[in-house]
Structure 1
Amino acid sequence: MTVMQRISMRFRTGRASLRLFATLLLGFGCTATLAIAEPERPNIVIFLADDLGWADVGYRGRPIKTASIDRLAEEGVRLERFYATPICSPTRAALMTARDPIRLGIAYDQIHPWYNAGLDKDEYTLAEAFQDAGYQTALVGKWHLGHTQEHQLPNAQGFDEFWGHVHTNTDFYDHKREGGHDLQHNGESVHEPGEYLTHLEAREALRFIRERDEDKPFLLYVPFTAPHSPMQAPQETIDKYAGLPEKDYRRTYAAMVDEMDRAMGQVLAELESEGLAENTVVLFFSDNGGFHGYGGNNEPLRGQKGQTFEGGIRVPAVIRWPGRLQANQAFNDMMSVLDVMPTLAAAAGVELPAGTEIDGENRWPALLGQSVPRKTPLFFVSEIPVPGMIFTAVIDWPWKLVQIVREGQTATETREMLFQIDRDPNEQNNLASSEPEKVAHLAELLRQRRAEHPLAGTRGTLVPHPGWIPAKDWAQAVSPSEHLQDQWRNELPFDESLIRAIGDRGRLVDEETRARLRKQEREREKAWQQGGGER
């Protein structure tokens, strides 16, 4: 290999590297006109924590050791007003599609093993966008967006590689959920009993990086299982936190966060050793706030996972791209998990197809320092852990309305709280009584958005139907696409009067179907009139 070839290989990544390569060429006496190539598209790595508390990162001065997250915060931008949803599956749905999970029907509850819910096969995902742009794509970790039909699984939603599990609450050592085995690689069961799940996730993320096609950029999504229950960690790591209380699993929770952070550190070190760090965008955030009963701490924010107070939805988040994003900075504008797909696409020069429906906004210009406030309100709902107790919220900056709706057999009670969160981020001063017009306006926005939730979308349940039986192996309990119909239409006799009777309870059919029903109703009315018959 010539000296010039070695220099070319060494400095092949990043805009700064291209400039340096040009300088070196001139230093070697090259007098011909040099055509500077377009900078290589960045790699993308997304780390997702599960149930990590707002306060449970080292850079907030807390006792849990998170050296890797702290390093990202020092070398990147802290997203100090980043919003997820209150629950696992809705955040993942929003991340994958940039669509409000209320509209997707994956909002009020997580996808339990006894649900058949999942991503629509026609939704255009983050992975598909990057895959279509020539990226190789991989998911290592927890999916939690459908497990019963093939089109719901990662390999059918844009991921070339999937190594992980489809459920939440999967055991960290025997890798089972509801007694069924829940670990697979591209649809084939993987059995590694006794191996700690976070360690396996780190190993497989490293394997993907090492075995990747070096001629293509990559998107690597690593949704860790930790620190979600079951509360399990290696004993030696638990012992590191002997000074923390055992109550509410706080000590074990700390160990799980520690293990996750060390797994992240291994991936970051691999990026460096492969010469990829400078041209890799790394995003880290949590899928919702911490849960107090399992050790999470969201102080000073109010509330927790499952609630729409800030402690349930405002989460730790950091983004790093050396040389492009200014290091050790705080970004205090609103950003949502809905915004991740358009923002990363813009950063990487990936164009979404014309007509792609998204609810997220491109925040890349704002991250680069431009004054671009977020334009549209954010909506949140949750019906966990108590079925019939629904938390909702809407943020229309700087105002936030929180509703707690308690559905009974014959009556429904609603409590409303209004906060001006730029002045009251910890939601201590309820302004609902002094701002009735603002409450009414935000409540109407919430009503309209909740009315878009599909009637059959997820709602809060803690147990399965009595007739349900779990699979022995979840990878083997998937209905193949060839066994399913390509096109399907509900055969029940819906009409416009039924839709009107349902009202804002939820969406019975999509707008295209509703337009067809209206047309049919007009045609029937016209035929009756022409025939002189009675309706």
Structure 2
Amino acid sequence: MYGLRYFTMLNLLATVCTAVPPRPHIVIVVADDLGWNDVSFHGSNQIPTPNIDSLAHSGIILNKYYVSPLCTPTRGALMSGLHPIHTGLQTSVIEGFHPFGLPLNITILPQWLQTLGYRTHMIGKWHLGSYKSEYTPMYRGFESFTGYHNSHGDYYDHSSEASEGYFGYDFWRNTDLDYTSIGQYSTTLFTEKAVDIIKEHDTHEPIFLYLSYQAVHPGNTPSGNPLQAPSSYVNSHPNIESKERKQYAGMVAALDDGIAAVIDELKSRDMYNNSVILFTTDNGGGANGFMEGAASNFPLRGMKSTLWEGGVRGVAFLHSPLLQSSGYISENLIHVCDWLPTLYSAAGGNPADLGDNDGHDMWEMLSTNGNQVRNEILHNIDPGLSEEAIRVGEYKLVVLGNNNRSMEMDGWYPPYQRADDSTRLHYLNIRAGMSKYKLFLREILLNKQKVACKYCPIDISCGITNIFHSFHEASHVNLFHIPSDPCELRNIAVGNEAIVQRLLDKLNSYAETMVPIGNLTIDPNSNPRLHRGAWVPWQD
């Protein structure tokens, strides 16, 4: 009998010792069009973001993190682990009238996590195709969906304007249009839905929550109100004289409070200590009047829709009590397509099971503050707009044809502050008066104020030598040494022809693997006027 007890006890000990730890809860928060200079942990002295800052500084700030220059390609890479050149999403975005979507033969993140037993929920912006129902969230691995399919819309009435003449309602609960949300501010609505999902979740099961905020993307243009936030948030920024920037700051503040509410609910359900939380923008901010926006990526060059650092260097952090090392700034290169293998690995899956993808498993590197895994990043190859860019080691090459946004929006755009800045510092006016602006920029960079905050903000030094000696406007071939010139002030292509050629060869190798662009055609049958005023999967 004693022998039987001894044998049984050994079995129990063996079971305890080999028990698989519970899979972590995974929360991805996407801030739409958030600029580099729109959070105080990056040094913004206009917009305090205390909740985002706290999570960032107690987690891992991703200081060399890159996304695509536009919404759809970044979201496609996040979900699929594939670079946009391998999904047909390398040019522009999927608008509501495009008969295209993230290809159905690609298994995406929620589907992979479902194989590990995860419950999967999505809230907010999809933007990966909706011309047929099978391209929408409920058919791509999510068991619930509250949000919208298209790129942007009104924050209160949830209408979406793809272009003049294409205007309709776009708000969904699972697979049904939902009109009960009219009048509710989307940031608040999405936060409340996220809190409700966490509150109702069976904590014995792992959850994947994809919280893709509408904030802080501009609303409908040209017919709508692009910058919308409750007055209480707007009025909390009396330091900003610019009406547009003040409205935008209110949008960021609502986002910051929303994230805090989600974290609080994770803690109240005892889920926080077993959670992995990723915060990321989808691209640089639409700055200084582009798309009627008021974001700022300063002092980085360019903005959303460009291949300059202001368009592709993303605001991001990873936060988790499960990290072996945290509270540090990661200077290792990371690309948005790395999140599929990284989060799958964090969930206890084997990234080898994912098959071919363009991402790297960064979980071990991030958790231990380990050595760099990735040495190069393809920013994009866009044959439609004739622009391409790549980072290899310390060098970045930007190759531009004519008539593209990287060529047109190649400046450095400080945030609006004065009441007349929406005219004085509008990106089109800056472009027209570049020589005068260079003098203004020198003063701004040399006297950049520090924000008063609990944590020391990250500062990007453009280099006094660069500022005083070289302001190079965009050329067709642009080479930069990013560690010494993060603001891309000095084009060093001349004299470094061997480096240029080496990076061109890399671009050509990637181009050989590229699939055709998918979102080139417009289907007039998509028009909401034909569907009772709503955007629907019109080819069902």
Q: Report deviation, 1:371.
A: 4.0
Task: After TM superposition, give the deviation of residue 226 of structure 1 in Å.
Answer: 0.6
Equivalence for 1:100: 83
Per the normalisation by structure 2, the TM-score is 0.77
User: Does 1:209 find its partner at 2:204?
Assistant: no
Equivalent residue letter for 1:258 = A
The C-alpha deviation readout for 1:127-177, integer Å capped at 9, x for no partner, is: 111011100011100000001112211111111111110011211011011
Alpha-carbon distance in structure 2 between the residues aligned to 1:251 and 1:210: 33
Q: Deviations over 1:484-531 (max 9, x none)?
A: xxxxxxxxxxxxxxxxxxxxxxxxxxxxxxxxxxxxxxxxxxxxxxxx
Q: SS of 2:234's equivalent?
A: helix
Classify 1:75/1:452 alpha carbon distance in 2 versus 1 (closer, same or farther; 3 Å): same
**1:61 Cα deviation from its structure 2 partner:** 3.1
Kept in 1, the 8 Å contact 2:526–2:535? The answer is no
Q: Which moved more, 1:220-229 or 1:69-78?
A: 69-78
In structure 2, C-alpha distance between the alignment counterparts of 1:466 and 1:140, rounded to whole Å: 28
| Larger Rg computed on CA atoms | 1
Report the equivalent of 1:363: 362
Say whether the 8 Å CA contact 2:81–2:341 is kept in structure 1. Answer: yes
Question: Quick one: which of 246, 257, 260 aligns to 1:265?
Answer: 260
| Compared CA separation, residues 275 and 211, structure 1 to 2 (3 A) | same
Cα drift, residue 449 of structure 1: 2.6
Shift, 1:377, TM fit: 2.8
Q: Residue 94 of structure 2 aligns with which residue?
A: 111
Determine the C-alpha separation between the residues in 2 that align with 1:374 and 1:472. 51
- Aligned equivalents of 2:348, 2:326: Cα separation in 1: 22
Native 8 Å contact 1:188 1:475 kept in 2: no
| Aligned counterpart, 1:350 | 349
1:181-220 correspondence to structure 2 within 5 Å: 181-191=169-179, 192-220=181-209
1:169 and 2:152 correspond: yes
Question: Are 1:305 and 2:315 counterparts?
Answer: no
Q: Distance in 1 between matches of 2:525 and 2:533?
A: 19
Alignment pair present for 1:126 and 2:109: yes
Structure 1: gaps spanning 5 or more residues:
1-31, 481-535
- Tell me the amino acid that sits aligned with residue 85 of structure 1: S
CA displacement 1:68-112 (0-9 Å, x = unmatched) = 211111221101111011000000000000100111111210111
Per-residue CA distance 1:252-282 (angstroms, 9 max, x = gap): 1111111111111110000011111111001
TM-superposed CA distance for 1:207, in Å, is: 1.4
Aligned-pair distance for 1:437? 1.7
Q: Check the 8 A contact 2:341/2:359 in 1, yes or no.
A: yes
1:458 and 1:378 map into 2 onto residues whose CA distance is 24
Q: Distance in 2 between matches of 1:372 and 1:50?
A: 30
Contact residue 400 and residue 418 of structure 1 kept, 8 A: yes
1:377 aligns with 2:376: yes
- Indicate if the aligned counterparts of 2:96 and 2:526 stay in contact, CA closer than 8 A: no
Partner of 1:454: 515
C-alpha separation in 2, matches of 1:467 and 1:33: 65
Out of 268, 275, 279, the position equivalent to 1:280 is: 275
Kindly tell me: are residues 275 and 354 of structure 1, through their superposed partners in 2, closer, same or farther at Cα, counting changes over 3 Å? closer
1:41 aligns with 2:23: yes
Q: What residue number does 2:286 align with?
A: 291
Q: Which whole-Å CA distance do the structure 2 matches of 1:435 and 1:85 have between them?
A: 26
Provide structure 2 residue ranges, at least 5 long, that are not aligned to the other structure: 1-11, 162-166, 220-226, 405-473
The answer on whether the counterparts of 2:380 and 2:390 sit within 8 Å (CA) in structure 1 is no
2:277 alignment partner, SS class: strand
Q: Is the 8 A contact 1:306 1:382 kept in 2?
A: no
CA distance in 2: counterparts of 1:382 and 1:164, whole angstroms: 31
Give the 5 Å matches for 1:222-233: 222-230=211-219, 231-233=227-229
> What SS does the corresponding residue of 2:338 show, helix, strand or coil?
helix
C-alpha separation in 1, matches of 2:251 and 2:369: 38
Give the count of matched residue pairs: 438
How big is the shift at 1:458?
3.1
Equivalent residue runs for 1:486-501 within 5 Å: none
Shift of 1:476: 4.0
- Cα–Cα, structure 1 residues 133 and 353, in superposed 2: closer, same or farther, change >3 Å? farther
- RMSD between aligned alpha carbons? 2.3
Matched, 1:441 2:441: no
1:239 aligns with 2:297: no
Structure 1 length normalisation: TM-score? Answer: 0.77
Query: How many Å separate the matches in 2 of 1:99 and 1:160?
Result: 23
Q: Which amino acid aligns with 1:96?
A: M
- In 2, Cα distance between the equivalents of 1:187 and 1:58? 38
Q: CA–CA distance in 1 between the matches of 2:97 and 2:381?
A: 19
8 A contact 2:91–2:517 mirrored in 1: no
Tell me the equivalent position of 2:424: none
Show the counterpart of 1:26. none
Distance 1:295 1:348 in 2: 37
Distance 1:478 1:349, change over 3 A: farther
Post-superposition CA distance 1:354-413 (Å, at most 9, x none): 462210001112112364423453222387xxx9754421011111101221169xxxx9
Match of 1:400 among 387, 396, 400: 396
Q: Which residue of 2 aligns with 1:425?
A: 486
Aligned to 1:56: 38
